[in-house]
Structure 1
């Protein structure tokens, strides 16, 4: 009989507990900070005279850079461990925020919020940090452990959005971005708690007989690309990025157009983060008890229906709050489910790289969601077309996820005592 314990049990005696806490802190900082970017579109446009399309492009570009950098960041963490990757990423992230804060030009904004922040986020979020949790937890508890880490990471969105809003209103754009850069650097040392494996720095040494049977990265990638379920998962994750980036970037501006109270956009983003804590935990729990691809399918259906309902109904403070709550419950629950499904099918040895490839699709969707929102608004004076596309994307993603085959295609991992 297996004596494996939950990854969150006996916390002071279980090293996995510290991995989960460290992961939550780092994700809180990185995801919370990037969630504030939508608050700066108006100020950058009005105060610095930059077109909305350019600001939206800078925010969209960081999603694209994040996606292309993620497989490399994941591969580096697979080989060298998460700690040095997190340290590099946090420093780069902070430098990008500082560059955007210190220069009023569009080029600096694109280089800072677009290029440097994109590289930094790839090293301080899911593909590096959450996969460290996946390796530390037992196979039976992996989905739940990832869900807990994601839920804890949502605290950053709850705190960072009102913090950034307050500092921006009282001290200006530059001070707000400098403060966020400082907080990112404070979170960096927690990366040292992520690496439990003693063989992280020496991939040529097998940690166990089972590890010796793990195929090399090139073979694993080639096999994954031929796997129909992996391809469907990759296509479906594009939708997630498209929906989330559009809402996070353009919801505050859209609510202003609807003559909603000032500050309601920041409140909505914070509420999304608050309810995402419960949603990520619940998705992790459901993923440990039901087939993860089916949970993902229903999640996308609920999200698409919620977006359509919100757009079609009259706007009020109550409808915005309800929309933020439901979106929060379905916000980042896709991440532990998607990474957990990849780990189930292909194992954890190359999890950072395999998730990174899937996440590239997510970030291509994020780029289009953020940039097209600004482009469509500038071209038509309305967000109607992009809201419709965002709602229909939920149905598209659901149809892709339900038929995914989750048959194990990797060596069975030995249970930990």
Structure 2
């Protein structure tokens, strides 16, 4: 009852933060819908377009820790609003693109910066500051689920506008949707006044950014979690990028790949909520390890068997459930290890590892396929690393680093 009463004044901020995440992540996830039409209409190849998306992932990872530092220095509102404006600019550039430079600037650089400033890390940091510790993990899971809700809503709209008009009209529609991120970011930015941070002497809250980074990278469980996050990004982006191609190679209906990605998004909502709830009851690092091991076993089993519509749909449902459940667990673990002040920044360094993995999953999987004519080696590497990362994550969940005094 006390928790419910405490949430009432901040509920508009939480809703706005969830909407900001839902729109930013949903639009980003749906950009691939326009690739065939865009590359067929202007002087841009598929390689150019996928390179822009790869740049987006790297820019997102590089800017994420910086966005966390800026939020501490200037407040969440200016950083998130700036990210929202960058999103609008990126969509506008992409809608008016007539060559590769505009595609890279729009879909790559501007959207990458926007995702760092107005997406997962910032939204989860806002949520962590607003909700009581007793329900924080569950709240993080519910807010994380908003990202998939956005993908479910924006993808059909983009497909409709492209089918009935053209890709430019579809991206103009996405630009209008991106405009809604601006007021959402503004309202979510009320966290600066509603939840002023009380610095704790028991964690990194009283440290400078540089000192907090040093503490984080000397903390063995965090380093293990960050490295395992690399494998997470590699596996997930490999699936979203290469599953449709794999199914076509196996002679399956092209719509099966699109349906599988939609099912992944739907079940991801359930998984995010479940693992957020579970993280409040069981060790978060153990749950992370179980997710990585379960994903790897499911991937291995699915690709060992000839694909059918039934096995593909089942694979997509299980993978969707295991998809973004890592987000509330990683965010909650960072808060438990280091406190609230530097959550977005420290989580950003872990996320940079994730984005390097994403780049390798998309590019490396394609490169190995071009060299070998199959995905077998890429799958063997992905499954092996996933099992290793999951096992290490569970082992180090029980590692207690020696207690050292924090830097003055």
Do these two structures clear the TM 0.5 threshold for a shared fold by scoring above it? yes
CA pair 146-388 structure 1, distance change in 2 beyond 3 A? same
Give the structure 2 partner of residue 103 of structure 1. Answer: 97
Tell me which residue corresponds to 2:168.
174
- Structure 2 counterparts to residues 16-415 of structure 1, below 5 A: 16-48=10-42, 50-194=44-188, 195-198=190-193, 214-405=206-397
Secondary structure of the residue aligned to 2:281 is coil
1:269 and 1:232 map into 2 onto residues whose CA distance is 29
Q: What are structure 2's unaligned runs of at least 5 residues?
A: none
Distance in structure 1 (CA, Å) of the matches to 2:165 and 2:337: 50
TM-score with structure 1 setting the length: 0.88
The superposition leaves residues 245-272 of structure 1 with CA deviations (integer Å, 9 ceiling, x where unpaired) of 2222333333333333343333222211
1:232–1:400 contact (8 Å) kept in structure 2: yes
Unaligned runs of 5+ in 1: 412-417
Match of 1:414 in 2: none
For 1:415, the equivalent position in structure 2 comes to: none
Cα deviation per residue 1:139-192 (whole Å; 9 max; x = unaligned)? 222111100101133201211222222222222222222222221221221123
Q: 1:45 Cα shift? A: 4.3
Indicate how the Cα distance of structure 1 residues 213 and 255 shifts in structure 2: closer, same or farther if over 3 A, else same. closer
TM superposition shift of 1:126: 1.5
Q: Distance in 2 between matches of 1:132 and 1:86?
A: 11
Q: From the two aligned structures, give the one with the greater helix fraction.
A: 2
Q: 1:160 to 1:263 in 2, by over 3 A?
A: farther
Matched, 1:14 2:12: no
Once residues 410 and 86 of structure 1 are traced to their aligned partners in structure 2, the CA distance between those partners, rounded to angstroms, is 35
Aligned equivalents of 2:220 and 2:325: distance in 1? 23
Deviation at 1:27, TM superposition (A): 1.1
SS at match of 1:146: helix
Distance 1:142 1:103, change over 3 A: same
**Change over 3 Å in CA distance of 1:315–1:393 after alignment to 2:** same
- Contact 1:53 1:374 (C-alpha < 8 Å) held by counterparts: no
Worse-matched range after superposition: 114-123 or 306-315: 306-315
Aligned-residue CA RMSD in angstroms? 2.7
Once residues 204 and 392 of structure 2 are traced to their aligned partners in structure 1, the CA distance between those partners, rounded to angstroms, is 34
Q: TM-score, normalised by structure 2?
A: 0.89
What is the CA–CA distance in structure 1 between the aligned matches of 2:208 and 2:2, rounded to whole Å? Answer: 28
Q: In the comparison of the two structures, how many residue pairs are matched? A: 402
